Amino acid sequence: MGMSTATTLSPDRLFSPDPTQRGIARELYATVRDLPIVSPHGHVDPDLLADAKATLGTPAELFIIPDHYVFRMLYSQGVRLEDLGIPTRDGEPVETDHRRVWQRFAENFYLFRGTPTGLWLTDELQSVFGIREKLSGESAQKIYDQLEEKLSRPEYSPRALYKRFNIETLCTTDAATATLEQHSVLRRETWGSQIRPTFRPDAVVNLDAPNWHENIRQLGMVSQIDIVGYSSYIRALETRRTYFKQMGATATDHSALSPRTERLSDHEAGRIFDRALRGEAEAGAAERFTAHMLLEMARMSTEDGLVMQLHVGSYRNHNRNLFERFGPDKGADTPVSTEWTRNLHALLNAYGENPNYRLIVFTLDESTYGRELAPLAGHYPALLLGPPWWFFDSPAGMRRYLDSVVETAGIYNLAGFNDDTRAFASIPVRHDVWRRVTCDWLAGQMVMGIVDEADAAEMALDLAYRLAKRAYRLSDEQ
């Protein structure tokens, strides 16, 4: 049967079946489809672009091995990570034949029916690589051949794809201790303001981070500040922020299980830090120190103007066996319910009105969209609400987000779209899903008489492009 072996993505995909709404969605989408991509938060390896000779690797290296969105689904149905070529921590051998990895993936590709990952992969195969045959156990090796051939060509190098994807800005995420050598290289070439680092200090801020002492030692080294106590620690962080800013950063990023914020006295913060430095654990100290440091980071943002991102609510590495064998980011991170109203009270009361401060928050608890985050973003000048994140970066996730937040916060308290991906070649298809869904949602608003044509046209541009630039202070005027 034809449908089972060839797939042609509908040009109207993700649009409402209603002819009137679909017609409007199509028109709005036509105005934003080809806009440059602004990607202000993600996890692309800067080496991919800094190294002019970098390639995307084998099809398995491109689509499977680094992508926990993909292999977690196969794992959930009993496929061992070893058999997918995921490297172990202790070097125990895993599958090295990438054609076999690809075959296992293809045989299980039906698992992705109805998922955004399935949609991205199908779209990416078709729109980036020109492959229209449906992926299955039978077609696997033929498609592997085609991909391998394409990936060897210069027009499939990351730099070539960057141009072809029409990316205007791509922000990477970098440890506070990163030397940003790749960003130096990129700045020396013509890539300067296109690829920007982001300051992510979690590993030196969370006292219970793995290797915290070593991270602090490195922080001292790269900042050339002898970290002997809390005040030199703060100075080292400030120094590093300044350096990141010089290298093009416009933002910081912070990850926490809870958004708790609490100002400690300098004395108390110093005492906790000093004991941690001496390796003396104290019950609850790490959590309190993180809550304090979120305030300190906000204080620094009011001074250097770096936009502060806060990603909250992921219980990391839920599967301990898997973590011990394979390390972090293996598809076992699971959301927990999150409280924002009380937890952000200290932070927003201290800096929420400061015109130099900007906070963008991301949640994995959709029940907080309308209950807590939209009301807070619809009040505090400093607060913007980030796009649907991770599991909710999906067509239905986006619709729930728009339906839950816009009525209370409008769209001008939103931060536009983030792709948040480490899968470089998937960037355009992810932005395309957002652009399609927002245009269809706007078409729905129009056909229901809630927004008029002129407003919908502006809003489509804002959601696709302008809000992200403004939120991350990437606009030309800044």
Closest CB to a second copy among 174 and 462? Answer: 462
Closest CB to a second copy among 44 and 346? Answer: 346
Q: CB 91 → a second copy: shortest distance, Å? A: 21
Please choose, from the candidates 336, 368, 352, the residue with its C-alpha nearest in 3D space to the C-alpha of residue 256.
Answer: 336
Q: CB 456 → a second copy: shortest distance, Å? A: 8
**How far is 123 from 137, CA to CA, in rounded Å?**
19
Closest CB to a second copy among 174 and 372? Answer: 372
Please choose, from the candidates 475, 429, 471, 459, the residue with its C-alpha nearest in 3D space to the C-alpha of residue 119.
Answer: 429
Q: CB 277 → a second copy: shortest distance, Å? A: 30
Q: CB 237 → a second copy: shortest distance, Å? A: 27
- Would you give the distance in Å from CA 106 to the centre of its chain? 26
**How far is 272 from 262, CA to CA, in rounded Å?**
14
Name residues whose C-beta falls within 8 Å of residue 441's C-beta, 6 or more positions apart in sequence. Answer: 398, 399, 402, 403
**How far is 443 from 22, CA to CA, in rounded Å?**
7
Q: CB 146 → a second copy: shortest distance, Å? A: 20
Q: CB 29 → a second copy: shortest distance, Å? A: 13
Task: Please spell the DSSP secondary structure of 335-378, one letter per residue.
Answer: E-----TTTTHHHHHHHTT-TT--EEEEES-THHIIIIIHHHHT
Classify residue 466 as exposed, middle or buried by CB count within 10 Å of its CB (0-12, 13-18, 19+): middle
Closest CB to a second copy among 77 and 224? Answer: 77
Please choose, from the candidates 127, 160, 196, 134, the residue with its C-alpha nearest in 3D space to the C-alpha of residue 436.
Answer: 127
Q: CB 373 → a second copy: shortest distance, Å? A: 9
**Sign of the alpha-carbon dihedral angle for 404, 405, 409, 410:** negative
Closest CB to a second copy among 115 and 211? Answer: 115
**How far is 271 from 277, CA to CA, in rounded Å?**
10
Closest CB to a second copy among 279 and 284? Answer: 284
Closest CB to a second copy among 32 and 205? Answer: 32
